């Protein structure tokens, strides 16, 4: 495989948003078209480009009108290239060392499954960047990493993150493996409704299963494992980290129970969740629950951010009309819609949940 296919695809998409041909970009950068073609194909990995040169490419593209959100993905794309290349060879070790984020995971999903990031959706074809054989090897490696990880706390970060990445494998073997993992892991973890090192594993696994069409594990997780206030807050803390609202890196899952969201982070998370609220979202019930939790914990946010309130009012109304939600989620969504469409003082207290 070409070791720079992800960063090359990001560069190609950014160039297209600037309305440039490869030749025009080469001229703007003072290089030859073959170099740009090599970068975009992955034949010449951007990882081998000096940091100063890569920064220059990013600045020049931005000055020429390239989409800022895409340019921000160049650095994580280089790291995602390194990870996918190693994983194809059987090494998923990096999943045990750092808590991954949404931008990085989205790039890996693009490579292995063709799930194009929203910032590139209008300029990139919906296809996997890896060959079929490399994608199959990648997912097999991720599954093996999860199976081999220690059941003790030392292996939980790797297992959790491997389960989540495995959700992008739509093959019959991948779907069957994820279902088997869900049944086995939930028996092993023996959750009690309180925070534990296994709680994040159960959360990611339930989200992964929902991504593949089985929503019942996630619904059970919401009802049983988010009823505790500390766990409910840990869910918000992790989600804020996931989208980048909390920029402090984490090397293990303990931060979910140790950090506290500030108002700015809560507002960023609320904006993100409100924009993405729709019936097609595989974890929509979890989004509804998180939104309601934010609104109850920071009751002034919707009054301060009228734009987010309007988006949330519209999307929650559509969801109430279109989605076949379970009764507990529909009740929560009704509270969300009430908060977004009227005075925050009308929102029922937490005891009414």
Domain coordinates of the chain in residue numbers? 229-352
Query: What pLDDT shows up at residue 281?
Result: 93
Percent of the chain with pLDDT over 70: 96
Res 349 pLDDT > 80: no
Query: What pLDDT shows up at residue 199?
Result: 96
106-135 per-position pLDDT tens digit: 999 999 999 999 999 999 999 999 999 999
Handedness of CA 296, 300, 301, 303 (dihedral sign): positive
**In 36-60, which positions are buried (b, 16+ CB within 10 angstroms) versus exposed (e)?**
bbbbbebebbbeebeeeebeebbee
Q: Between 207 and 2, whose confidence is greater?
A: 207
Over the chain, what is the mean pLDDT?
93
Res 351 pLDDT > 70: no
Query: What pLDDT shows up at residue 187?
Result: 84
Distance CA 87, CA 32 (A): 33
Res 322 pLDDT > 90: no
65-85 per-position pLDDT tens digit: 999 999 999 999 999 999 999
89: CB partners within 8 A, 6+ apart: 141
Average pLDDT score over residue span 157-172: 96
In 3D, which of 2, 172, 178 has the Cα closest to residue 84?
2
256-294 per-position pLDDT tens digit: 999 999 999 999 999 999 999 999 999 999 999 999 999
Question: 190: pLDDT confidence band, cut at 50, 70 and 90?
Answer: confident
In 3D, which of 46, 38, 33 has the Cα closest to residue 6?
46
Average pLDDT score over residue span 145-171: 94
Query: What pLDDT shows up at residue 343?
Result: 56
Average pLDDT score over residue span 239-264: 95
Handedness of CA 248, 252, 253, 257 (dihedral sign): negative
35-53 per-position pLDDT tens digit: 999 999 999 999 899 888 9
């Amino acid at each position: 495989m070409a070791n720079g296919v992800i960063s090359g695809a990001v560069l190609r998409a950014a160039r297209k948003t600037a309305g440039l041909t490869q030749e025009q970009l080469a001229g703007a950068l003072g290089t030859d078209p073959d170099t740009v073609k090599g970068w975009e194909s992955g034949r010449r990995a951007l990882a081998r480009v000096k940091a100063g040169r890569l920064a220059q490419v990013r600045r020049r593209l931005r000055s020429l009108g390239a989409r800022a959100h895409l340019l921000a993905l160049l650095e994580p794309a280089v790291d995602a290239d390194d990870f996918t290349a190693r994983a194809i060879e059987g090494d998923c070790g990096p999943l045990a060392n750092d808590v991954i984020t949404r931008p990085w995971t989205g790039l890996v999903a693009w490579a292995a499954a063709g799930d194009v990031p929203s910032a590139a959706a209008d300029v990139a074809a919906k296809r996997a960047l890896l060959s079929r054989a490399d994608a199959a090897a990648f997912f097999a490696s991720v599954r093996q990493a999860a199976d081999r990880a220690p059941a003790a706390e030392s292996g939980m970060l790797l297992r959790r993150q491997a389960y989540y990445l495995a959700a992008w494998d739509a093959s019959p073997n991948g779907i069957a493996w994820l279902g088997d993992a869900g049944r086995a892991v939930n028996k092993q973890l023996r959750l009690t409704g309180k925070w534990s090192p296994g709680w994040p594993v159960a959360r990611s696994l339930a989200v992964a299963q929902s991504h593949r069409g089985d929503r019942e594990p996630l619904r059970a997780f919401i009802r049983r494992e988010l009823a505790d206030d500390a766990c409910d807050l840990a869910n918000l803390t992790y989600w804020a980290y996931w989208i980048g609202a909390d920029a402090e890196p984490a090397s293990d899952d303990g931060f979910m129970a140790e950090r506290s969201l500030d108002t700015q982070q809560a507002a960023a998370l609320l904006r993100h969740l409100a924009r993405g609220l729709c019936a097609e979202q595989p974890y929509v019930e979890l989004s509804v629950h998180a939104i309601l939790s934010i609104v109850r914990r920071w009751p002034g946010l919707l009054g301060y951010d009228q734009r987010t309130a309007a988006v949330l009012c519209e999307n929650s109304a559509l969801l109430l009309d279109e989605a076949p939600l379970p009764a507990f989620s529909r009740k929560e969504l009704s509270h969300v819609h009430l908060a977004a469409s009227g005075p925050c003082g009308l929102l029922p207290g937490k005891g009414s949940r």
